[in-house]
Structure 1
């Protein structure tokens, strides 16, 4: 098996990491390991009455969430457990305006904020960059969240302070740091679909507190929930294993050094875009645009009109699992079967492996100066065979028998180095820094189009994209906050980034041969804002920002093709500016604890990086439709985001989140290879989304505390294509609402044991969370099914 061969040199490391973690953690029984948890354990107050201040690092310093002039959602360790946030996809219902885009299912994810995302098969940097311990990370399949200190979601253009420029936002994951206490936790869950999850952490101080060690692990296994009637396989199987070791060294009172090493292994089957959503027939138009119809034409009775009478009957005779009425009619058959049945004729195996190393060194230089160094190393490999339609015909497969490859492969290695100097000079608090990143990605896309088993007619048609991109990033930045008074402050920052992008075709590519190409992109990012602390409880702010996404290399294009001018296989940078204003309140309403955050914004994006699937040779040429990134001239996004919580009594807490987003392409015309394309509406951006929740606290004297939490997440409809008004109609997914709940008993009988029962999608809503639009390429589109009802039992122990 290819994935096993590709990872043979890493298998020993995986087994060693998991075994060593298990041995260390088996030494003692564990607990929830965040600092605020330890504080709560010591307090005699019920958890409901404790005001836990959330500390965030959005400006590269520890600050109270309520005092940071940024639209930000932060979740602490307790929040992550109470709200059952265990993977990337779960964040969508906890962060207003965040969409976790699923194009090819559960192992093909992209974050989308404020109408900004990155399309599937794009060489574009992500519009929303994720970080682990301040080191930028790739996002592909769903990762497991375990033993985290916090998750912070920063909204809007980023670039003046964080490693990679981003036009949409940044998501900061911070692992639980080693502490000077002997502590730990163990947690086990079991639920339907045979979902089994075990995790834990152990923290051990040594050498009189000069050496602090923390180990953590997470093991998650689950059966899938989509039945593939064609192969008998179940899609959505999960087999994830994660281990982490963190060590803090404190050689003196002024120096600390924390190193984290994390290993992740993910296997199973992809859910894929396994629901056949829409298919176009020949002659169909949409707003004056002629629609592609290749798949519907060839996979159905109309095949006779192309290859002669009896061609379709011969096909059915050799493909007994095919649906006789054809692909156009299968859309109705899919609706009859329902969302959790598919007929994908190809494979769906997923394999992913990742090593992450982060190191943060801090030195107190005295006189208010602090020197920080942040180093990161990421080694990530994925091999994923993706269902892209779900109908019982091989219209497209992520496999190529001609070169003996199956599965899309991304092999990424990246290292980053960042040096910061922080200080205070009178009323000015400032930071200056230098950032460097070197990233290399080898990509392989093996493809099969229209496998009719008719080699005499060139069907199936095979294609292979195999290319390498390298990004060399250097940046310098400075930002400061000047206090005019105790209440009024000005923040200003600037960053200048140089990013050189290299691209070359590799040996298994159909386009192999041309030499390596490169282009340099450079641009500033900036921020200016005023913040006014009207009262200790109320903050008012306004700011404007600018940032950019580097241009890049279209590896699926032949650099030597006659239809390309020199360098035309590169796409241009994307730039953006915004204005944001907001208020934050954290205090009391009618004498009871209350918080309220409101932000309004308008953002302009230029040369928006989006993927299209054109056919460079035209409809009369070979079957060579490809995915390329192009630049849509203009987009505008405006909206309002709000979060509120209120505790009317000691036993009840109420809250909610809401995002209203208006996104549109204000100049949407693009010409590719002589063909005009029109973009709109903006995909993966529901106009409205939000969550309402309630927590009921039931004191039990000295026997712990019982908490019941219920929440409803709802969103309006969204498109999974950016061209639904032109070449990709019928790509709108309906809105939906999900009901989730959790009943927990903490510190049962005054002990260190806790238990909970939980449920997601309790009403078993059938809904869709994304899609794979191949409208222009093949004339069909597939949708990604959301999870059905999930429930289970959780037991934990802490000390």
Structure 2
């Protein structure tokens, strides 16, 4: 039976793709050449920077696994220092979207179910697929499954595009690097107290102690947050979105000799609260309503009723409790073998577990519960463990012409999942999926950058090449709590592929860098835990899916210097990428129409093409004012979106979690208010994005899943060093215009005939008092 109307055209043959790639390279090269000629910075870059002119803050990044200025790295990166994170009010994962246009932090089942998306690459909820955007803490991949607090960080870096060589594990979309503040060789402490609406109470504390001068350094930090929810559940009077989180971190650096340094970081977080869920009934798919044995007008009535209630009221007849605990230990050892050669080892051990009950639709009856009412199991439970180790050899030749890195990467990862569910509170429909997926990843890599001046006579011209080869073994085991699949034989599958990078960069002046590169990477295949444990993919009625492969071309320009005799910065990246066997989820019905056995299945969609442009710019027209803009245009399209799942045809498109336009403009004012009175800083920004879909099949089986565009205004006013003291005071506000908007959703159109959306946070504001020693 046809589930969709096939409306996608098949992709071209391989020879056509070759000509397409060649044409794209020419277009990108022409664009960068034009930008280089026409940019005001290209003319003014030769100017000497005046010593009495304020400069823009320089951010140090580690995108190439060594400390470098952001302006000198030929990669599309958005990076924020500790001060910038504070100014932009980046305190949780979801705040990153406003700070980094082009990065989407989508909520699937609410505020504790977040998905990172960059350049059309993401991972769906209930997917067995590894995330296409990998998050790292101190260069160790994270396993955290809840939203988290970002506190006492040195920097946050968002690397865009496939990171095949140096951050290669499945990062076909990009990588987000969280680096904690390192212990320093000085006594220091800070304490911040925040209070705001929704009964918000937050404490940040830090203590830095040099136990032995320049040899043994200790740093400890803590964050606690209590906050009431912002969605009222009319069914039982509870609030959804409650947060009660406590996090702590201890860092210890040991330098027994000038050539040896070891840093250990231990972090622990505990979260309690309620999920916001996909609690807004958003749309009904009439042709599937027969699955529910209901009339479309019946469900449509609840959608109409919700519009009158507004975004921040719901009717959920079940619990929304969320509990999560996670910890991570990282240990980084660097030993300088010689002046030009360093050996580095990065060890990481982490654990994360959650127990989460999700509001699915927000109507006063349960179409689907995250509970098995027969066995009493309640809440989607996950338990993740990871151990990784990476050995690096970093060096530069005696003449300084060749910089290189060699590495070996090992990771063992285990993920237990328990999904209890009941449809319409009927015991006959109650079931539990319970399974464990293990992943063993092994990789070797090498990357080097060579100065070409000796060969070409052009100073500043460099070539970079890198390759990584990865072996992954994935196996799945059905656990005893599984209703129907326990006892099935274990399954395993091996995947191996190369990742690579080739790039040319030209440091035209000290202020201007241009580059052109191409990269390739892959995301390993695996198993759908809820699908029948049959050793074929969903086309044949089984639970397997294959690896995803991506290649791209990117051209960029980075300028940091003077424009019109004022400090200015301009970063531009243009790209095009081709993804084959794209890993995307759908909810097919293996028992045929009218059944209630719909499952989440990761399928391989044949082909996706993404192209776009990303821009960041800022200028200081005066010594006390900085003006800036950042934006992204993303054109993503399934050029072949047809798949067959359990004998039924499906078509994918448009691409979900990918707004075509997103942008941020800001003003940052900083000036002294008088001798010994202190300094005032005012930061304000406007973020806007266009429409986006929360389904990848909105054009066929999941209509009604387009979310409208929205705009957010955020501001922060601080008085630092009050009357010459070490105290500071802050007034802050987010979404000051109280915009009503959506940040994601849960599409069950193909399975249950309805879609539900997750609402964004309303206006929040408050005050902060801090002391810095």
Answer yes or no: same fold by TM over 0.5.
Answer: yes
1:420-460, Cα deviation, whole Å (9 max, x unpaired): 00111231100000000000011000001122x6x6xx4xx
The one of 166, 169, 193 equivalent to 2:171 is 166
Q: Distance in 2 between the 1:514 and 1:695 partners?
A: 60
Matches within 5 A, 1:210-229: 210-229=215-234
Distance 1:723 1:254, change over 3 A: same
Give the CA deviation at 1:567.
9.6
Partner of 1:363: 335
1:265-308, Cα deviation, whole Å (9 max, x unpaired): 01100000000001123xx4xxxxxx45433x43x6x8xxxxxx
Matches within 5 A, 1:100-179: 100-162=105-167, 164-179=169-184
1:55-103, Cα deviation, whole Å (9 max, x unpaired): 1100001101000000000000000111100000000011120000100
Matches within 5 A, 1:123-522: 123-162=128-167, 164-281=169-286, 284=287, 291-295=288-292, 297-298=293-294, 326-425=298-397, 426=399, 427-451=401-425, 458=428, 461-485=429-453, 486-510=459-483, 511-522=485-496
Are 1:624 and 2:592 an aligned pair? Answer: no
Q: Distance in 2 between the 1:649 and 1:742 partners?
A: 20
Q: Which runs of 5+ in 1 are unaligned?
A: 1-44, 285-290, 303-324
CA contact (8 A) 1:167 1:548 kept: yes
RMSD over aligned CA atoms reads 1.8
Q: Distance in 1 between the 2:689 and 2:541 partners?
A: 42
Distance 1:565 1:749, change over 3 A: closer
Distance 1:603 1:493, change over 3 A: same
Give the CA deviation at 1:184.
1.9
Are 1:726 and 2:731 an aligned pair? Answer: no
1:107-145, Cα deviation, whole Å (9 max, x unpaired): 000100000000000010100000000000125321000
CA contact (8 A) 2:694 2:744 kept: yes
Distance 1:47 1:450, change over 3 A: farther
CA contact (8 A) 2:291 2:593 kept: no
Distance 1:85 1:565, change over 3 A: closer
Q: Distance in 2 between the 1:176 and 1:333 partners?
A: 49
Give the CA deviation at 1:50.
5.1
The one of 657, 661, 664 equivalent to 1:684 is 657
Partner of 2:34: none
Q: Distance in 2 between the 1:756 and 1:234 partners?
A: 28
Give the CA deviation at 1:617.
1.2
What SS class does the counterpart of residue 305 from structure 2 fall into? helix
Give the CA deviation at 1:46.
14
Are 1:698 and 2:671 an aligned pair? Answer: yes
Give the CA deviation at 1:695.
1.6
Q: Distance in 2 between the 1:99 and 1:565 partners?
A: 31
Q: Extract structure 1 runs of 4+ deviating beyond 6 A.
A: 45-48, 561-567
Give the CA deviation at 1:558.
2.1
Give the CA deviation at 1:52.
2.9
Q: Distance in 2 between the 1:367 and 1:48 partners?
A: 36
Q: Which runs of 5+ in 2 are unaligned?
A: 1-49, 454-458
Normalising by structure 2, we get a TM-score of: 0.91
CA contact (8 A) 1:220 1:238 kept: yes
- Of 180-189 and 254-263, more deviation after overlay is shown by 180-189
Q: Distance in 2 between the 1:204 and 1:439 partners?
A: 35
What SS class does the counterpart of residue 128 from structure 2 fall into? coil
What SS class does the counterpart of residue 49 from structure 1 fall into? coil
What SS class does the counterpart of residue 307 from structure 2 fall into? helix
Aligned length: 715
- Of 74-83 and 510-519, more deviation after overlay is shown by 510-519
Q: Distance in 2 between the 1:673 and 1:648 partners?
A: 62
Q: Distance in 2 between the 1:598 and 1:145 partners?
A: 28
Give the CA deviation at 1:196.
0.7
Q: Distance in 2 between the 1:561 and 1:253 partners?
A: 55
Give the CA deviation at 1:651.
2.2
Q: Distance in 1 between the 2:265 and 2:406 partners?
A: 25
Q: Distance in 2 between the 1:566 and 1:100 partners?
A: 34
The one of 706, 727, 730 equivalent to 1:756 is 730
What SS class does the counterpart of residue 424 from structure 2 fall into? strand
Are 1:712 and 2:709 an aligned pair? Answer: no
Give the CA deviation at 1:484.
1.1
